[in-house]
Structure 1
Amino acid sequence: MSEQPFEMIAKTFQGLEEVLAKELTSLGANDIEIGRRMVSFSGDKEMMYKANFCLRTAIRILKPIKHFTAKNADEVYEQIKAIHWEDYLDTDKTFAVDAVVFSEEFRHSKFVSYKVKDAIVDYFREKSGDRPNVRINKPDVLLNIHIAETKCTLSLDSSGESLHRRGYRQEAVEAPLNEVLAAGMILMSGWNGECDLIDPMCGSGTIPIEAALIARNIAPGVFRKEFAFEKWVDFDQELFDNIYNDDSQEREFKHKIYGYDNNPQANEIATRNIKAAGVSKDVILKLQPFQQFEQPKEKSIIITNPPYGERISTNDLLGLYSMIGERLKHAFTGNTAWILSYREECFDQIGLKATNKVPLFNGALECEFRQYEIFDGKYKEFREGGDELSRERKEYRTSASGEQRDFRPAPGERREFRPRERFNGERKEFNGDRKPREFRDSEKREFRPRERREFKEGDRKEFKSRERREFSKEREPRSGESYPERKRREFKKKEE
C-alpha cells in the first residue's frame, strides 16, 4: 500500500520563490503554491527525501503536523499537548523548538518556544514518567512553530542544518555568497551548461562550484553528512540509500567554467573548495584582476557578485563599477552578463542599460540582479541595414491600380538636392540632472571604506580543513555498502 501524500513547505530567500517552484515541478511535486519566502507542495516520504537531497534553492523542508488557532500561550500549550507525540519522538531522543512569530498576541518567539517545549515534556511525563531532553545544537528532532496573528502551524524540520550548507566548503573569504542564492542566480539566468560561464570576481568559488553542479546535474545533497529526517522514528534507510546512490540523471559537461580573482588567498581557498566538490576538471581558476579581463574566444555568460561596500570594503567603489562597465563594453561583446549588487549608484557607474532587473535579497540587503546584453556591432549593423532597406523602399510608390512602379521625376523636371539643416538648438544634458537614490531615514549613512586590518604574528586565525568525503562514481551509502555491491549480493541470494 502506497503512502498517502502529505503537505510540505520549502523555505527560500525572497526573490527565489519562482525558481524553487520550477525545481519542485521538475522533481514531480504536487499542489505547488508560491508564498513569500516559501513554496508549499505535497508528496510522499520519497518526495521529502528528494526535496532535501536535490533542491538547490531551498533552505529547509518543513513537514507540517498540525494547523490550529490560538489567542494566547495557554491555548498553544493545550494544542501542542494534544498531539500523539509517540509518532514523532521517543524519550531517549533530544529535541529543540524554533519559533517564528508575526503577531500582536505573541510578541516573544522564545516564550512561544518554551510553551511548546513544556507541552511536549509534560505529555511524556504524564504518559511514562520520563521525558525527552532539550538540545539546542543538533537535536534528534527539530520542531518549527510559525504563528501569524492567531494562525499557528507546527512542523517537523526535515533538513536540520540549513540546506545552503552543502558540505563542500572548506574555508571562506570575507562575506561569502550564500550557496542557495548563488544557485538561484545561475538558474534564474537560464544557464544550464550550454556555453562557458565566467565569474570574474569569484572569491571562494561559490558561483563556479554551483554552476558546475548544475551543469553536471549533481545533486547538492551528495556532500551532506546527514539530514534531520535520518533520526526520525519512521526513517526508511533503504529508500534514502536508493536516492543517494542514483546518479542516472547526471550528465556530461562539454564547456568550461572560469573563476578569476585578484586576491591570492581567495584563489587558494577557491582551489580547495573546488577540489572538495570534485569539480576541478570543470572549473579553471586564475589569479587575475577584472581590469585584465579579455574577450573570450567562445560564447560565454558572466554571472558575478561584486563588492557593494557593505560587508566588503574597497577604496574606490564607484570606480570599480565604472571599470566593470568598461570591460563589459570592450571585452565581452556579443555575450550576456548578470550582476548582483545593492547600490543604485553602483549600477549607474556601469553605464549600460539593463535588459532585466530582478529584486533579490542577499541576507538583509535588498539587492538587484541585473542582466546586460553586450552587443558586438551586429545590432548596429542590423539597424543600419534596416535604414538602408527603408531608403530603398522610398524609391517605389504604389499606383492607383496597386502596381509598384519606379519613382522618377517627370520629363524635364529637375529636382534640387538640399541637405537637411543641422540642428542648432541646445542639447539637454542629463548627466548632472540625475537624482541620487533616496534612502529612508533609517538607511541614511555616509559611505566610508572600511580600514584594512593589519594582523600581527599569531593573530590570524588558522583555518582547519573539515574532514573531506571522497566521492567516486560508485558512491557509498551510510550503510558502507555501495549500491552496485548490494545489487550483486541480492542477485547471488536469489540464485542460491
Structure 2
Amino acid sequence: MPSHDERLPLFAITAPGLEPLAAAELRALGMDVKEEPGGVSWSGTRAQLYDANLRLRTASRVTVLAAEFRARTFFELERHARKVPWERWVSRGGAVRLRVTSKKSKLYHEGAIAQRILEAIEHRVGALASTDVGRDEEGGEDEGDAQLFIVRFNRDGCTIRADASGALLHLRGYRQALARAPLRETLAAAMLLGAGWDGTAPLVDPMCGSGTIPIEGALLARRIAPGLSAPDREPRDYAFTSWPDFDVERWAAVVDRAAAEILPRSPVPILGSDRDEGAIAAATANAERAGVLGDVAFSARAVSAVEPPAGPGWMVINPPYGVRVGERDPLRNLYAALGRTLRERCPGWTLALLSPDHGLERQVGFALDEALRTSNGGIPVRLVVGQVPDEG
C-alpha cells in the first residue's frame, strides 16, 4: 500500500463559472491550487482529500488522477490500463461505474473503450460484483456503492479519474422536501460566496422556495462543513471511505477538527419567506434536517410584505425565470415590484440576484454588476450584485 503521507493529484469538479469560488475555498483551507476549465487541481495529502470532500460548498465532486497516457489503438489502451493500480480504489468483488467520453480521438467507440477498461480492472482485482457504463459523468442522484471512474479521451490523450465523493457533493442530505424549481445547494452557496456574504451581516431571501439559500447561509454563518449538515453532525457517506487503503483515524481527525469549528448559533439574523405556504413547510422541514432550524426565521408572505432586520445586510434571491412564452410581462412586473420594495424597505442593503435576462434585471431599477456566470437547470444565468439606493 502507498504511504499515507504521499501527495495525490487531485481535481475538484465544479459547474462552469464556479471554479474561482472553489479555488478560494481550497486556498482558505491552506491548499495550493490551480483553476482549470471545469474545476480546480492541486497536489494534496490524504487528509486534504478528505477535508475537501467534507468542506467544499461549491464543488460537485473531488477526484484523484488514476492514470494519464496516450493511446491510438486498443492494444495501447489495454497495455496502459493494465498498469493502473485499480486495487487502490476497488476491492475484490466490488462494483464499478464508468463514465466515458471520447472526442477527436482514433478510439472513438466509447462502449469499446469501457469494455477494455473493465477487463483491465478485473485483471488486477478479480471479478466485479457489478458494472455500469454511461456517458454522463455526474450520473444519477442515487449513486449506490459502485466506484466511479471518469474516463476521457481527447485528441488521443486519455485521463482516468477515480471519484472520491460518491453521491454528488450538492447532495448534503437535508433537502428532501422540494418546492418548485429547486436550487442546487452548491449553486445556493455559490450565490452567497459570489455576492461577498460571509456570515457577518443579516441575510434575507424573500423568494426562498424550499429554503436552500437561507439554509446554506446558516451553515456558512455557523461554520458548519456541508458534509456535517445534519442534526447529529455525523458526516454523510463518501466513496473514499470504501477504498481499501482508507485511513479511518485520519478521517476521524478531519471530522473532529471540522466539528470543533462549529458555532453554537448564527451570529446574524437569517430570514426566508415565500408567498407559498407549502414552500415554507418544505423549507422548515429541510432546515430541521440540516440542524439549523433555530438559525432561520421562515414566514409565508409576499415580497412586498418583507420585513428586514436592522441592516444593512444582504438580500440574496433566485427569482422565477419565465422561460415559457407568455411569462415575460408578469415577470417584468415582479422584478419592478421587487426593486420598489427594496428601495423602500432596504436602502443600503446589497442585492444579489440570479438572473437569466438583462431585460428583467433592468426592471429592478438600479445598477447591478455581474459577479459570475453559470447555469441553473440548463439555463444560462448570471449572478448580479448591487447596492440598493436610498429613495430619500
Same-fold call, TM cutoff 0.5: yes
Contiguous gaps of at least 5 residues in structure 1: 125-129, 379-496
Output aligned runs, 1:242-391, within 5 Å. 242-246=253-257, 247-251=259-263, 252-294=265-307, 296-310=309-323, 316-376=330-390
Q: Which amino acid aligns with 2:252?
A: D
- With over 3 angstroms needed to count, the CA separation of the structure-2 counterparts of 1:54 and 1:295, relative to structure 1, is closer
Q: Tell me what 2:161 maps to.
A: 155
The range that moved more, 359-368 or 9-18, is: 359-368
The range that moved more, 164-173 or 269-278, is: 164-173
Q: Which amino acid aligns with 1:182?
A: A
Q: Tell me what 2:192 maps to.
A: 186
Output aligned runs, 1:426-445, within 5 Å. none
How much does 1:117 deviate?
Answer: 1.6
Rounded Cα–Cα distance in structure 2 between residues aligned with 1:139 and 1:294? 46
Q: Which amino acid aligns with 2:331?
A: L
Rounded Cα–Cα distance in structure 1 between residues aligned with 2:273 and 2:123? 57
Rounded Cα–Cα distance in structure 2 between residues aligned with 1:115 and 1:174? 43
Cα deviation code 1:425-461 (max 9, x no counterpart): xxxxxxxxxxxxxxxxxxxxxxxxxxxxxxxxxxxxx
Judge conservation of contact 1:55–1:219 (CA < 8 Å) in 2. Answer: yes
Q: Which amino acid aligns with 1:317?
A: L
Judge conservation of contact 2:343–2:391 (CA < 8 Å) in 1. Answer: no
Rounded Cα–Cα distance in structure 2 between residues aligned with 1:90 and 1:200? 49
Q: Tell me what 1:471 maps to.
A: none
Cα deviation code 1:440-489 (max 9, x no counterpart): xxxxxxxxxxxxxxxxxxxxxxxxxxxxxxxxxxxxxxxxxxxxxxxxxx
Fraction of identical pairs, as percent: 31
Judge conservation of contact 2:12–2:40 (CA < 8 Å) in 1. Answer: yes
Output aligned runs, 1:103-118, within 5 Å. 103-118=104-119
Cα deviation code 1:193-235 (max 9, x no counterpart): 1111000100000000100000011010114531000110001
Q: Tell me what 1:28 maps to.
A: 30
Q: Tell me what 1:234 maps to.
A: 245
- With over 3 angstroms needed to count, the CA separation of the structure-2 counterparts of 1:270 and 1:237, relative to structure 1, is same
For 2:294, what is the secondary structure of its paired residue?
coil
Judge conservation of contact 1:140–1:232 (CA < 8 Å) in 2. Answer: no
Q: Tell me what 2:99 maps to.
A: 98
How much does 1:111 deviate?
Answer: 4.1
Residue 132 in structure 1 maps to residue 143 in structure 2:
no
Rounded Cα–Cα distance in structure 2 between residues aligned with 1:185 and 1:350? 18
How much does 1:80 deviate?
Answer: 0.9
For 2:170, what is the secondary structure of its paired residue?
coil
How much does 1:350 deviate?
Answer: 1.8
Rounded Cα–Cα distance in structure 1 between residues aligned with 2:108 and 2:362? 41
TM-score normalised to structure 1 length: 0.71
How much does 1:172 deviate?
Answer: 1.1
Q: Tell me what 2:87 maps to.
A: 86
Q: Tell me what 2:43 maps to.
A: 42
- With over 3 angstroms needed to count, the CA separation of the structure-2 counterparts of 1:270 and 1:88, relative to structure 1, is closer
Judge conservation of contact 2:5–2:45 (CA < 8 Å) in 1. Answer: yes
- Alignment match of 1:168 (pick from 168, 174, 184): 174
Q: Determine which structure has greater relative contact order: mean sequence separation of CA pairs < 8 Å that are 6+ residues apart, divided by chain length.
A: 2
The range that moved more, 52-61 or 85-94, is: 85-94
Rounded Cα–Cα distance in structure 2 between residues aligned with 1:235 and 1:320? 52
Rounded Cα–Cα distance in structure 2 between residues aligned with 1:347 and 1:228? 41
Q: Tell me what 1:121 maps to.
A: 122
For 1:302, what is the secondary structure of its paired residue?
strand
Q: Which amino acid aligns with 1:248?
A: A
Judge conservation of contact 1:96–1:139 (CA < 8 Å) in 2. Answer: no
How much does 1:295 deviate?
Answer: 5.5
Q: Which amino acid aligns with 1:361?
A: S
For 1:316, what is the secondary structure of its paired residue?
helix
Judge conservation of contact 1:12–1:38 (CA < 8 Å) in 2. Answer: yes
- Alignment match of 1:225 (pick from 209, 222, 236): 236
Aligned residues: 372
How much does 1:7 deviate?
Answer: 0.8
Cα deviation code 1:35-71 (max 9, x no counterpart): 1121001111111010100111111011002110122
Cα deviation code 1:57-114 (max 9, x no counterpart): 1110110021101224443233212324334333221111122433353545444333
Cα deviation code 1:348-379 (max 9, x no counterpart): 2222221444322224221111112112268x
Rounded Cα–Cα distance in structure 2 between residues aligned with 1:265 and 1:271? 10
The range that moved more, 3-12 or 70-79, is: 70-79
TM-score normalised to structure 2 length: 0.88
Contiguous gaps of at least 5 residues in structure 2: 133-142, 230-234
Q: Which amino acid aligns with 1:240?
A: W
- With over 3 angstroms needed to count, the CA separation of the structure-2 counterparts of 1:194 and 1:311, relative to structure 1, is farther
Judge conservation of contact 1:197–1:256 (CA < 8 Å) in 2. Answer: yes
Rounded Cα–Cα distance in structure 1 between residues aligned with 2:164 and 2:324? 32
Rounded Cα–Cα distance in structure 2 between residues aligned with 1:312 and 1:72? 50
Q: Which amino acid aligns with 1:134?
A: S
Rounded Cα–Cα distance in structure 2 between residues aligned with 1:212 and 1:295? 16
Q: Tell me what 1:58 maps to.
A: 59
**C-alpha RMSD over aligned residues:** 2.2
- With over 3 angstroms needed to count, the CA separation of the structure-2 counterparts of 1:241 and 1:313, relative to structure 1, is farther
